[in-house]
Amino acid sequence: MAAPRGEFSSKLGFIMAAAGSAVGLGNIWGFPKEVASNGGAAFLIIYLAMAFLIAYPALMAELIIGRHAKANPVEALKVIANSDTSRTVGVVTGFAGISTACLILSFYAIIAGWMASNILASLSDMVGMAGLSTWFASDSIERSLLFTAVFMALTISIITAGVKDGIEKWCSRLMPSLLVILALLIVYVMTLDGAMDGVKAYLLPDFSRVMSPDLYISAMGQAFFSLSLGVGTMLIYGSYIPDEGNLVSLGRAVTIVDISIAFIAGLLIIPAMYVALNNGVQIYDANGALLAEDSLIFVVLPELFASMGGAGTFASLAFFVLMSLAALTSTISILEVPVAYTTENHKVGRKPATVIIGVAIFLLSTVLIYNFEVLFGLIVSVATQYGEPLVGLMMCIFAGWIFHRNELLKEIQKGHDGAEHGLFWKIWPNYVRFIVPAAILIIFSRKFFA
Ligand code: PFF
């Protein structure tokens, strides 16, 4: 007999949890990094199109399948399946999602750990312990191991407490704090010299870049990663939405929050780079492109904070707290994927399942840390450029082709009277059946044939 399933206690609880999953390092680091490397607002425009036109419909597919089946991805796709073949494909897709989730957590927890150790670096600076601060901000293997372990332990402790008392409770606390810190940091950065140049660079598009196929691939990958798609997280969170919840409006709210926070984070990071330039920090590489990748967060911003004197230490602390909060509400949502599967399908209690899986993923992170140069980038690209779009594609195929139309409508009608007359029902079923899979396939195939 499987353990009873958890449920979110309110609409707001779901929005906090799902937006918490979506809003993460991908928004505050990944998105501004892509903007900086890809022609400023040109990337922003394509990203917005990808997020609304491809990622949002795919998110709805996951939420609807999840709530209908009230199960983890492997079971849920079996429930939807209508033949032996589709059942097998469903199981394979479910496992592909779970594996992608584990891979993502293995690298995400390392980066999250760096953010957490930088909090301690700022605190050590404040109390004048420069040596310790340097160690916390160093890129040593020991530091990575220690703080990845700390981050996994935090994640495990929240997931052990379950859906309502763990995920919902903590996201409802952490998300508002995140918004306040983000707002304060933006207001502060905007008062500094050079910030307006950054705003211009962010909002004035360089259209010569819009035609590049790579831009579309990056924007789609970023949109899928940002909305936590193609790993089963949103399917599982959907499965915890009570039947009174209106899926169409909940999904829309999560998408809008996620995209807005990415946009707003750009208003922090890009102007901060130009403030750094104004303070004499190097922000361009040898080819004249803006420094992006790791150097954006771990070189440019620390140099900016250092150039700001005493205020810089507080800004640095606030920034790394912001990053750590954003990361934690995401790591918990990723760990929930394998944990939900294991507790439901293998009759293991939530606590042992969470600890065993959490430790196993930490061991995987350890392998990445010791073989960083060879493995890190590889795992990131396998998970985010292949795993997520392909699993996302399969979810859309299940929702559009395999899920029975009447059942689909009944699911959408729950908590949404008159859904059959709404715009969503008029457009989405065919859209997710034809357009989204075709768009994913076309963009994806350009990877190989461009
Ligand atoms: N959406 C998160 C971010 O933007 O940082 C990353 C993420 C969380 C990806 C959860 C996948 C996932 F299941």
> Within a domain: residue 395?
yes
Q: Which residues line ligand 1 at a C-beta cut-off of 6 Å?
A: 21-22, 24-27, 101, 104, 225-226, 228, 231, 233, 330, 333-334
Residue 344 lies in a domain: yes
Highest mean pLDDT among 156-170, 214-228, 283-297, 306-320: 156-170
What's the CA-to-centroid distance between 233 and ligand 1, angstroms? Answer: 9
Atom of ligand 1 nearest to the CA of 27: 4
Q: Which atom of ligand 1 is nearest to the CA of 101?
A: 13
Contact by Cβ (8 Å): 245, 405: no
pLDDT score recorded for residue 449: 66
Give the total number of structural domains in the chain: 1
pLDDT digits (tens, 9 = 90+) for 120-179: 999 999 999 999 999 999 989 999 999 999 999 999 999 999 999 999 999 999 999 999
Q: Is residue 3 part of a domain?
A: no
| pLDDT for res 292 | 62
Does any domain span residue 319?
A: yes
Return the pLDDT at 1. Answer: 40
Burial label for 53, CB within 10 Å (0-12, 13-18, 19+), is middle
* Residue 110 reports pLDDT greater than 80: yes
CA distance 307 to 312: 7
Q: Which helix (H) or strand (E) holds 34?
A: helix 31-37
Q: Name the residue of 330, 337, 382 whose CB sits within 8 Å of the most ligand 1 atoms, as the mutation to test its pocket.
A: 330
Dihedral-angle region of residue 422 (phi above 0 means left; psi in -120 to 50 means alpha; beta otherwise): beta
In whole angstroms, what is the distance from residue 101 CA to residue 63 CA? 17
Give 322-343 pLDDT, tens digit per residue: 999 999 999 999 999 999 999 9
The residue whose two tokens read 């403030």 is: 275
User: Among residues 396, 407, 404, 405, which one has the least CA distance to residue 433?
Assistant: 396
Q: Give tens-digit pLDDT for 87-109.
A: 999 999 999 999 999 999 999 99
Q: What is the pLDDT of residue 205?
A: 79
Tell me: pLDDT of 364 over 70. yes
| Per-residue pLDDT at 71 exceeds 80 | yes
Per-residue CA distances from 89 to 149, 307, 435 (Å): 35, 55, 21
The closest alpha carbon to 357, from 151, 170, 166, 105, belongs to 105
Residue 80 clears pLDDT 60, i.e. is over it: yes
Question: Packing angle between helix 84-126 and helix 310-346, nearest 10 degrees?
Answer: 150
- The 10 Å Cβ neighbour count of residue 262 is 26
- Does residue 6 form part of some domain? no
Higher pLDDT: 401 or 34? It is 401
The domain of 167 spans: 11-449
Task: State which of 62, 106, 107, 108 you would mutate to test the pocket of ligand 1, scoring each by most atoms of that ligand within 8 A of its C-beta.
Answer: 108
Q: What is the pTM of this model?
A: 0.95
Cα 59 versus chain centre, distance: 13
CATH of the domain at 375: 1.10.4160.10
Number of H helices, E strands in the chain: 23, 0
- Is 308 a domain residue? yes
Q: What's the rounded Cα separation, in Å, for the pair 291 and 274?
A: 11
pLDDT of amino acid 302: 84
For residue 340, being part of any structural domain is answered with yes
State the average pLDDT for the chain.
92
- What integer pLDDT is reported at residue 450 of this predicted model? 57
pLDDT of residue 10: 93
As a whole number of angstroms, the distance between CA 182 and CA 319 comes to: 8
* Gyration radius from the chain CA atoms: 21
The answer as to whether 294 is a domain residue is: yes
